[in-house]
Amino acid sequence: MRKYDVIYQDLKDKIEAEIYTTGSLLPSENTLQDMYQASRDTVRKALRLLKDDGFIQSQKGRGSIVINRQEYVFPVSGVVSYAELAEQLHLQTRTVVLANHFAALPAKSFKDVDPDVEVKQMRLLKRVRYLEKEPDIIDIDYLDPRVVPPIPESVARDSLYAYLEGQIGLEIAYATKEITVETATEEDRRYLNLPEGAMVVVVRSCSSLADTRKFQYTESRHRADRFKFHDFARRARP
């Protein structure tokens, strides 16, 4: 690992552990050079990474200030599994499998995330996600059987991506997504304990491998009253 990556990771860990709290200043560049036995250029590269990732903001005459960088509450922007996110946020979760069989992909639902989508037989995996003992999300995954083998029940209740990457050897690379707000269906109301007329936040996505093969179409139906999405955006400078 490069020296500035080591410094970046150590400072990031300290920010996340609140050793350096929001609003506080990081040590000066000179102090960081002494702390890490590194050159000024190396320290500045590490600080630039922290700034680009939304952990600090540089202020002339003051230094590097730790800013409030919220992590994703739900996996909307990133390509991350529910199990991975729950582990990162130390949340108590449970998954109930509703379906694990073949079904036709409803192409019309995914036209906006993949204009070339076609109706075809896919491996359907439908699960209810419980967060802190409350039903929060219905995840409906359509998996290409030419890429994804049968999903064991134990995997369906745990982490699909850990299985696909760790045991099957797939290299999951990127996804296109859309977010809409829709009236809850009868199935939503039943499994998410919602009243008549309730709304749900629907995140539809198409995920691809590193070789660009599309292998997964997902419709995640979130309870609107518990849905939060945080992101970090930095204005690009010309």
Distance, in Å, from the CA atom of 29 to the CA atom of 220, rounded to the nearest integer, reads 45
Q: Over 80: is that where the pLDDT of 71 sits?
A: no
Q: Over 90: is that where the pLDDT of 217 sits?
A: yes
To which CATH superfamily is domain 82-226 assigned?
A: Chorismate lyase-like (3.40.1410.10)
Positions of CATH 1.10.10.10 in the chain: 3-66
Residue (of 41, 25, 21) closest to 33 by Cα position: 41
Beta-carbon neighbour count of residue 198 at 10 Å?
15
Average pLDDT (10-25) is 91
Q: What's the pLDDT score for residue 54?
A: 76
Let me know if domain 3-66 sits in CATH 1.10.10.10. yes
Which tokens belong to 69? 């960088």
Q: Is 19 helix (H, G, I), strand (E, B) or coil?
A: coil
Positions of CATH 3.40.1410.10 in the chain: 82-226
Q: Over 80: is that where the pLDDT of 144 sits?
A: yes
For residues 95 and 106, the answer to whether their CB atoms sit within 8 Å is no
Q: What's the pLDDT score for residue 33?
A: 96
H helices within 37-133, ranges in order? 40-52, 82-89
- Split at pLDDT 50, 70, 90, the class of 75 is very low
Q: What's the pLDDT score for residue 62?
A: 83
For the stretch 80-114, pLDDT in tens is 566 666 665 556 788 999 999 999 999 999 999 99
For residues 159 and 84, the answer to whether their CB atoms sit within 8 Å is yes
Indicate the range of 78-92, 149-163, 204-218 predicted with least confidence: 78-92
For the stretch 158-204, pLDDT in tens is 889 989 999 999 999 888 899 999 999 999 999 999 999 999 999 99
